[in-house]
Amino acid sequence: MVVMSKPAMEHHCAATTLFPEIPLIDLSKPDSKNLIVKACEEFGFFKLINHGVPTEFITRLESEAIKFFSLPLSEKEKAGPVDPFGYGNKKIGSNGDVGWVEYILLTTSNEANYQKFSAIFGEAAEKFRFAVNDYVSAVKKMAYEILEMLADGLKIQPRNVFSKLLMDEESDSAFRLNHYPPCPELNQETNGMNLIGFGEHTDPQIISVLRSNNISGLQISLKDGNWISIPPDQNSFFINVGDSLQVQRPP
Ligand X SMILES: C=C1C[C@]23C[C@@]1(O)CC[C@H]2[C@@]12CC[C@H](O)[C@@](C)(C(=O)O1)[C@H]2[C@@H]3C(=O)O
| Residues binding ligand AKG (CB under 6 A) | 176, 178, 198, 203, 208, 210, 212, 218
- Exactly one of 20, 52, 122, 204 binds ligand X (CB under 6 A); which one? 204
- What is the smallest separation between the CB atom of 28 and ligand X, expressed in angstroms? 28
> Which residues are paired to 221 by β-bridges?
227
Using DSSP, state whether 58 is helix, strand or coil.
Answer: helix
176 binds ligand X (CB under 6 A): yes
Q: What are phi and psi of 87, to 5 degrees?
A: -95, 135
C-alpha 136/C-alpha 138 separation (Å) is 6
- What is the smallest separation between the CB atom of 101 and ligand AKG, expressed in angstroms? 7
In terms of phi and psi (left: phi > 0; alpha: psi -120 to 50; beta: otherwise), the region of 93 is left
Which range, of 8-16, 27-35, 141-149, 197-205, touches Fe ion by CB under 5 A? 197-205
- Select the residue whose beta carbon is closest to ligand X and give its number: 93
What 8-state DSSP symbol labels residue 202? -
Q: Buried b vs exposed e over 25-40: b needs ≥16 C-beta within 10 Å?
A: bebeeeebbebbbebb
- Exactly one of 49, 203, 242, 245 binds Fe ion (CB under 5 A); which one? 203
- Select the residue whose beta carbon is closest to Fe ion and give its number: 203
Q: Which residues contact 191 (CB under 8 A, 6 or more apart)?
A: none
1 binds ligand X (CB under 6 A): yes
Tell me how many residues contact ligand X (CB under 6 A): 12
- What is the smallest separation between the CB atom of 98 and ligand AKG, expressed in angstroms? 14
Nearest one of 7, 19, 44 to 210, comparing CA atoms: 44
C-alpha 79/C-alpha 82 separation (Å) is 8
- What is the smallest separation between the CB atom of 203 and Fe ion, expressed in angstroms? 4
Which range, of 37-45, 148-156, 158-166, 197-205, touches ligand X by CB under 6 A? 197-205
Which partner, ligand AKG, Fe ion, ligand X, none, binds residue 174 by CB below 5 to 8 Å per kind? ligand X
Residue 124 CA to chain centroid, in angstroms? 26
- Exactly one of 39, 48, 92, 177 binds ligand X (CB under 6 A); which one? 92
C-alpha 245/C-alpha 208 separation (Å) is 11
Which partner, ligand X, Fe ion, ligand AKG, none, binds residue 212 by CB below 5 to 8 Å per kind? ligand AKG
Which range, of 34-42, 89-97, 121-129, 217-225, touches ligand X by CB under 6 A? 89-97
- What is the smallest separation between the CB atom of 123 and ligand X, expressed in angstroms? 26
In contact, 100 and 180? CB cutoff 8 Å: yes
Binding-site ranges for ligand X (CB under 6 A): 1-2, 92-93, 95, 97, 105, 174, 176, 201, 203-204
